[in-house]
């Protein structure tokens, strides 16, 4: 009995086939082209034209809207850089609070205390709220007249009312405090996971040398948490620069744009003033600044990690 000859396979997908890696990359490449490359390219096209969705032919203006951002006589330049400074101020204040508070909570809640899981859940749960709920809550707490903070100040401490929502600098208090309350739980969770990865043998050796709690934290916990701290700092800075919902709901950017974020102003320019081309140019400049900052942050992170590994 003769066996039938095997049919040849003109196209066999095996591990040795050089096309296999490209087949895995095609889905991601398609999504990247459709949702990243095309929107960025089309957005840049819009920023070079006096673009309006109701017009058939768009007037080419070149770098006009980019030049407006660096011309002090234009309102776009004035408000863009003012709101960018507002966002930078928020980032400079909120980032140390979010990192330091999260680290302190993680160190306290890593210890085997009674109700540890409940306290962890309490500090993490605000993070599941939407920005709308968070903003309405903190706007009510710091309301100029009937807010809980002013009621407590008047009833129990006989202190005058503070116009939190309509006074320069005071308006930042509910935004910053609310943001810390809202997002600190996520950073705390990252620190708790990092603390769980530290070997107990380090602390046992420190106990034998007679080291106290502060010495253990300074020479063991803090150095070993450096990679986590760098990661949390970078992600927190990037998230803080994206400030939008908190200032929009709590203060609506007031008073006199002192709490308006740059993304909030870009949105206003695009949909409030119907200047889509100008808003797109602002978005590209802001994105470029964020890209430069991110590169600097990651270079510093890699340098510190390399220095830590050489010790």
Reduced to 3 states, what is the DSSP secondary structure of residue 212? coil
Tokens standing for residue 154 = 């008047």
**What pTM value is reported for the model?**
0.87
pLDDT value for 302 = 74
pLDDT bucket at 59, cuts 50 / 70 / 90: confident
Give the tens place of pLDDT for each residue, 179-229: 999 999 999 999 999 999 999 899 989 988 888 889 989 999 999 998 899
Q: Which DSSP string do the residues of 92-122 spell out, in sequence order? A: HHHHHHHHHHHHHHHHHHHS--TTHHHHHHH
Closest residue by Cα to residue 221 from 106, 140, 53: 106
Query: What are the CA-CA distances from residue 57 to residues 39, 50, 52, 61, 277 (Å)?
Result: 20, 10, 9, 13, 14
Closest residue by Cα to residue 90 from 237, 233, 254: 237
What class is the 74-310 domain?
mainly alpha
Give the tens place of pLDDT for each residue, 132-169: 999 999 999 999 888 999 999 999 998 999 999 999 89
Residue range 277-286: average pLDDT? 95
Angular region, 256: left φ>0, alpha ψ -120 to 50, beta rest: left
d(CA 174, CA 154): 18
Q: Which residue has the higher pLDDT, 298 or 304?
A: 298
Across the chain, mean pLDDT equals: 89
Question: Could you tell me which residues are beta bridge partners of residue 142?
Answer: none
CATH 1.10.3720.10 domain span(s) along the chain: 74-310
């Amino acid at each position: 009995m003769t066996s039938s000859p095997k049919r040849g396979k003109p196209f066999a997908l095996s591990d040795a086939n050089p096309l296999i890696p490209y087949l895995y990359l095609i889905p991601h490449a398609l999504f990247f082209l459709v949702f990243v490359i095309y929107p960025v390219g089309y957005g840049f096209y819009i920023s070079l034209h006096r673009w309006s969705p109701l017009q058939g032919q768009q007037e080419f203006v070149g770098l006009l809207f980019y030049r407006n951002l660096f011309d002090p006589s234009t309102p776009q330049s004035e408000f863009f850089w003012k709101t960018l400074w507002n966002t930078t101020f928020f980032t400079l204040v909120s980032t140390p609070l979010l990192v330091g508070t999260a680290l302190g909570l993680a160190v306290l809640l890593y210890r085997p205390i009674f109700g540890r899981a409940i306290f962890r859940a309490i500090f993490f749960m605000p993070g599941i709220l939407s920005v709308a709920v968070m903003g309405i809550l903190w706007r009510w707490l710091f309301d100029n007249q009937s807010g809980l903070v002013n009621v407590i100040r008047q009833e129990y401490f006989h202190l005058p009312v503070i116009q939190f929502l309509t006074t320069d600098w005071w308006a930042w208090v509910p935004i910053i405090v609310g943001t810390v309350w809202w997002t600190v739980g996520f950073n705390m969770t990252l620190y708790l996971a990092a603390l769980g990865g530290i070997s107990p043998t380090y602390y046992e050796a420190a106990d034998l040398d007679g080291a106290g709690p502060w010495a253990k934290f300074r020479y063991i916990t803090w150095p070993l948490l450096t990679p986590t701290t760098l990661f949390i700092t970078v992600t927190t800075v990037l998230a803080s620069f994206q400030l939008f919902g908190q200032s929009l709901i709590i203060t609506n950017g007031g008073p006199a744009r002192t709490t308006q974020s740059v993304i909030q102003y870009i949105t206003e320019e695009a949909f409030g003033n119907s200047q889509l081309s100008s808003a797109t140019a602002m978005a590209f400049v802001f994105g470029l600044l964020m890209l430069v900052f991110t590169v600097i942050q990651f270079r510093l992170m890699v340098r510190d990690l390399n220095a830590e590994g050489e010790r």
